[in-house]
Amino acid sequence: MVRFKSRYLLCEIVVDDPLCRQIISQGLVHSTLKEALIRAHGDFGFACCSVSFAVKYVNAYTGIVLIRCRKAFYQLFWSSLPFITCLESRGQRFPCFFNTLHVSGTIRTCQKYLIQYNQKQLLRLLQNSTSDVERKLIERSIRSSLEDVDDEEDGQRSSEDELEHQ
């Protein structure tokens, strides 16, 4: 059996405006990526990537997105990412950029990387935190994430909770 090989790109959408987080959705990310791809590589580039191209996971709070693309053409797709400068929804434009965190061949390695990455982010938050309440909340979520490293759902939720509290 031959497997269709894919590449998973783990990206972070960096935005200034916190309002923007409300509009980040799977559909919006998909259409933004598609437009950028067509602009940079044309119909041909989009057609190359459109087979098995999918936004697998979007986290509106952390701005993390996971994108799947065919292995043969992921470079076309990857090279169009820097040309995304804003997210547009219902006539509103929010400046942003895509920061690629990790590229891998399986979704599992992306997950592992994401958990690690989120733990590091928590530690950074801890260092920068000012109030005691915040500090306690962060410590709690770090502890919970260390308890159950393999359970992605849990780790993710705790970090989400954390950011919600900010």
* Residue 41 contacts other proteins per CB under 8 A: yes
* Residue 105 contacts other proteins per CB under 8 A: no
From residue 97, alpha-carbon distances to 107, 133, 137 in Å are 23, 32, 29
Across the chain, the runs of DSSP E, i.e. the strands, are: 6-15, 54-59, 64-70, 86-89, 92-104
Q: Which of 23, 28, 72, 126 binds other proteins (CB under 8 A)?
A: 72
What's the min distance (Å) between Cβ of 42 and other proteins?
3
* Residue 73 contacts other proteins per CB under 8 A: yes
* Residue 57 contacts other proteins per CB under 8 A: no
Structure tokens at 116: 């690690």
* Residue 75 contacts other proteins per CB under 8 A: yes
* Residue 82 contacts other proteins per CB under 8 A: no
* Residue 58 contacts other proteins per CB under 8 A: no
Side chain identity at residue 61, one-letter code: Y
CA 119/CA 113 separation, integer angstroms: 10
Structure tokens at 64: 């993390």
* Residue 54 contacts other proteins per CB under 8 A: no
Q: What is the number of other CB atoms lying within 10 angstroms of the CB of residue 125?
A: 19
With beta carbons less than 8 A apart as the criterion, state whether 11 and 101 touch. Answer: yes
What's the min distance (Å) between Cβ of 86 and other proteins?
17
Q: CB-based contacts of 158: which residues, under 8 Å, 6+ apart?
A: 141, 144, 145
* Residue 45 contacts other proteins per CB under 8 A: yes
What's the min distance (Å) between Cβ of 87 and other proteins?
20
Residues making contact with other proteins (CB under 8 A): 37-45, 72-73, 75-76, 79
